[in-house]
Amino acid sequence: MWQLLCILALVITSEAMPKKYAGIQVKKPINPRTSSGNRLDPTLVLPSNYNLNLTVTRDNLDNGKFDGIAKIELYFAKDTDSFQIHAKDLTISKVTLAKSGFSGDLTPEGPDTNDFVTMKSSQTITRGYVYVLEIHYTGKLSDTDMDGFYRSNYTDDDGNTKYLATTQFEQMGARRAFPCFDEPSFKATFDISITYPNTSMALSNSRPKADPIDARNGLLTVTFQTTPVMSTYVIAFIVAEFTCINGANTADGTPTKVCGRPGTEELFSVGLEAAPAALNTMADFLSISYGSLGIKKMTQVAIPDFAVGAMENWGLMTYRESDLLWDENQSSNYDKQIIYMDISHEVAHQYFGDYVTTNWWSNVFLNEGFATYFEYHATAEIRKDWEVAKQFVLAEVQPVLLSDSSGCSKPLSYDTNDPVEIQTIFGDISYNKGGSVIKMLQSFLGIENFKQGLTRYLNNNGHNVANPEILWDSFEESKPDDVPDTVKTVMDNWTYKPGYPLLSLTQNGINITISQKRFLLSGDDTDETQWYVPITYTTSADPSEFTETTTKLWLTPDTDVTIVLDNEDSWIILNNQQVGYYRVNYDQTLLSKIETALNSDDLDNIDEMSRSKLVDDQLNLARAGKAEYADVLNFLTFMKRDSSYYSWSSFYNGFSYLFKRTKDESLRNLLKNYIKELMETLKNSVPFTTEKPTDQIYTLKQVLALTWACNLGETSCVNNATVAFTSYTMDNNIPSRNLKSVVYCTGLKNSENPTEDYNFLYNKYLSTKLATEQLTILKALGCINDSTLRQEYLKLALTDKIRIQDVRYVFQSVYSNNGNEGVDDTLEFLKNNYQDFETHFGTQSTLTSLRSILTSLISTVADLITEEYQIDKLSEFLKTEGLDESVVAAGNKAVESATGNLKTISILEGQLNDYFSPPR
């Protein structure tokens, strides 16, 4: 890798530097750790500027196409007769390569399966010079896959269909909009101009250079300012009949605005207040103003059809409508929190991703880990009363501790060039583990050292790409003395090894010995990976330590450490605020001391974050066979007095799994009663009839507790929800905005007139234009207590009544709300309707393709299987003729794991019975 690096650096400094490169200061080009045939060759040719002319006329919009001319300045570092460029779904009509003294003809061949178009030249292209490659082409504005330059639609107030053209490029969509070097490390400047209907507006990353000029025939042309050097995947452009509202300028004078469909302006307020606040918070934290990065503008746009939640295009952030538009009278508190966090996430990306970019997708945690970290930690600064930093532990750390304990989890950074595998890198390891490991780093460096390191990292690598080593090295200069090795060495196994350690504590008098071993759910103990683990802890001598996250001592590879207690009877709890990415296993003596403390008068002697962590760890230790369920259920007796949102979130997560892996009806009823009894205090702390919308945690807790209470059939919850639902269907009294999800689902589940009630709510879905409300309804319709209606609902998923972006909520709503029947419904539907799937979804390998929708549907449903006949049904479906190979492969894996799960069921049921009906 370093060899390649040296060659490239040499070429660039020893040849006549093209002007643009001199300007952008290529510092240390960083190449992927390996590079193979399906990647562009960075030692041959580099783009420095793209001049793009895009034309989207009204006819083009109606016909789903666009025209383009791309003029790309290319710097050749070697003599060559041919080179490669990415292009996909583009019809190329003309190609020329120009430089004075060069008169060769260029012939494009391809694209091949890597989306490479090979340009063959009739004359040798000589190294050391800039050539201009000009390509004329047309492209498709596709409706189905929300990738590349694509078409979205909505119905306006007069009932007319309106089309817009918009982009989503990460990871490989730019090549569908213009020929380009579509890998993050090929940065260049962009001059974009767009010709569009005079009834629309055109937006791009940077500001217009001047007012649009009349291009005749009802068209306008706008040219945007040259962008800073940037990666192709954060380029964006939009042609739409939208309206915009200006927000406040940021502290550095950067103007902000929000745009969306006409008629949604009243819903812009959260987007308008959150973006400048997040931009200011990030600028303060990093001591680098947003405007100084290179684009002094921030526009946020709500797009009706959008593949992901939001996208960090530099200066032009795009969102799914439900992730940006909020209705004060109808959307929930949680909807608002999501919007705030999404905005903070994308704003953080302007620094981590757009300004300093991962060198290759293998290291995308350099983008997504920081975005996840700041999604919470910037929002926490802005909305101090929401406890978002504490929610980070529930929503990010604990879930990924679960998935990262599977034997097939991947490291944060691992080499791959395979496009399908690259899509999977955009998952909870890069996001949640990335964010969690960064949080751990922050805690052992201390917040000030952390800030300084980040500022150094950004300043040294801005307009360039980075890799993990460059990041870790940025902290070397400012780190506390107790860090046992270089930051890079400390972070090594967190970065390149999968999983995390289980710390085991053994007491011997006043001495507590701590050792480590990788934690695997399978109980497998053969993995020898060792980590540098920063440890914090609290003992009964000083419970105020629970909020202290400074490292107290380090556990280093292959060496146990000892903590000496003041007093042999003291309890000790590791990992304050769960800032360390590990689990803890206490020996019997230590655990029983914690248990006694939890059952003593003052529950809060042990803070709620620790209770949440203990619940999560204990349930997972039982799941891995390292603790007995009977003991863990006994341990959880303290929950009877606990009403913390944090402990209960972890509790419910663990018990969802127990419900998934039990099938004996009487045992399930015992489990239900056990939970209902334990949650009495919790439920009384958030009565159905007492809402406190200004109290964020109360509100989140109320929704959580009532969702469980109603699902478990707790009478007063079901009664209240049913009364509220009937009052809606009979008298059109809209349920309160925070409890809608509970009321809709419980109402349908307990409906006495299923057809009427289902249709009532479905019609509300059709008539509302509010995206958050549409989603709330879609997530509830599957709760209907009638299998025929559920089949009808599933069929809707394959019609244009449901946007492709929302299809997954339809399935989820059916398979997750109806126990075994929901699984049966879904399997039945798959078998009978596969053909319709094929015609409805595109065949592109994008996020929303048939392949990715089917594979994720199959594996999720398979995970819920509890009966042999359901496995047979799934296997039968996998024999369907013409089924995509990768779907079959994923399906076979799902069958295999479902078969394993059936065995787990009998073991687990045996263990739970030990608790509920102990052998005498």
Ligand X SMILES: *[C@@H]1O[C@H](CO)[C@@H](O)[C@H](O)[C@H]1NC(C)=O
- Would you please indicate which residues are annotated as catalytic (active-site) residues? 346
- Give me the least distance between CB of 266 and ligand X, in Å please: 4
- Give me the least distance between CB of 553 and ligand X, in Å please: 13
**Cα distances (angstroms) measured from residue 537 to each of 77, 544, 549, 563, 577:** 56, 11, 9, 10, 10
Residue 349 is labelled as binding a ligand: yes
- Give me the least distance between CB of 833 and ligand X, in Å please: 17
DSSP for 155-172, written as a single string? E-TTS-EEEEEEEE-TTT
Beta-carbon neighbour count of residue 3 at 10 Å? Answer: 8
- Give me the least distance between CB of 246 and ligand X, in Å please: 19
Contact predicate 455/446, CB 8 Å: no
H or E, element range at 502: strand 501-508
Query: Between 226 and 719, whose beta carbon lies closer to ligand X?
Result: 719
Tokens at 768, concatenated = 């509302």
Say how far apart CA 642 and CA 611 lie, in whole Å.
Answer: 9
Contact predicate 518/500, CB 8 Å: yes
- Give me the least distance between CB of 768 and ligand X, in Å please: 12
Each residue of 610-649: b (16+ CB within 10 Å) or e?
bbbbbbbbbbbbbbbebbebbbbbebbebbeebbbbbbbb
Task: Name the closest residue to ligand X (Cβ).
Answer: 509
Cα dihedral 298/304/309/313 (nearest 10): -30
Contact predicate 872/837, CB 8 Å: no
Query: Between 530 and 913, whose beta carbon lies closer to ligand X?
Result: 530
**Three-class secondary structure of residue 97 per DSSP:** strand
Residue 421 is labelled as binding a ligand: no
Residue 368 is labelled as binding a ligand: yes
**Cα atoms in the 13 Å half-sphere on the side-chain side of 839:** 6
**Three-class secondary structure of residue 221 per DSSP:** strand
Say how far apart CA 322 and CA 770 lie, in whole Å.
Answer: 8
Query: Between 134 and 867, whose beta carbon lies closer to ligand X?
Result: 134
- Give me the least distance between CB of 166 and ligand X, in Å please: 12
Query: Between 193 and 578, whose beta carbon lies closer to ligand X?
Result: 193
**Cα distances (angstroms) measured from residue 341 to each of 276, 309, 738, 848, 860:** 13, 11, 18, 23, 26
Say how far apart CA 381 and CA 451 lie, in whole Å.
Answer: 15
Tokens at 423, concatenated = 């899509």
Query: Between 456 and 517, whose beta carbon lies closer to ligand X?
Result: 517
**Three-class secondary structure of residue 588 per DSSP:** helix
- Give me the least distance between CB of 463 and ligand X, in Å please: 25
Say how far apart CA 468 and CA 465 lie, in whole Å.
Answer: 11
| Distance in Å from the first CA to the final CA of the chain | 65
DSSP 8-state symbol, 208:
B
- Give me the least distance between CB of 567 and ligand X, in Å please: 13
- Give me the least distance between CB of 283 and ligand X, in Å please: 30
Query: Between 13 and 217, whose beta carbon lies closer to ligand X?
Result: 217
- Give me the least distance between CB of 334 and ligand X, in Å please: 17
H or E, element range at 461: helix 447-461
Enumerate binding residues for ligand X (CB under 6 A).
51, 53, 69, 71, 143-144, 153, 161, 193, 198-199, 218, 221, 223, 266, 305, 327-329, 489, 492-493, 508-509, 511, 528-532, 557, 687-689, 716, 719-720, 800, 803-804
Query: Between 71 and 207, whose beta carbon lies closer to ligand X?
Result: 71
**Cα distances (angstroms) measured from residue 790 to each of 29, 136, 660, 746, 825:** 55, 49, 21, 15, 7
Say how far apart CA 111 and CA 269 lie, in whole Å.
Answer: 45
Beta bridge partners of 256: 298
Q: Is the dihedral of CA 631, 433, 318, 306 positive or negative?
A: negative
Query: Between 224 and 638, whose beta carbon lies closer to ligand X?
Result: 224
Tokens at 339, concatenated = 């919007």
Query: Between 71 and 552, whose beta carbon lies closer to ligand X?
Result: 71
Beta-carbon neighbour count of residue 600 at 10 Å? Answer: 11
Task: Burial-class residue 275 by CB neighbours within 10 Å (0-12, 13-18, 19+).
Answer: buried
Query: Between 492 and 825, whose beta carbon lies closer to ligand X?
Result: 492
Annotation: binding site for Zn(2+): 345, 349, 368
Output the known binding site.
Answer: 345, 349, 368
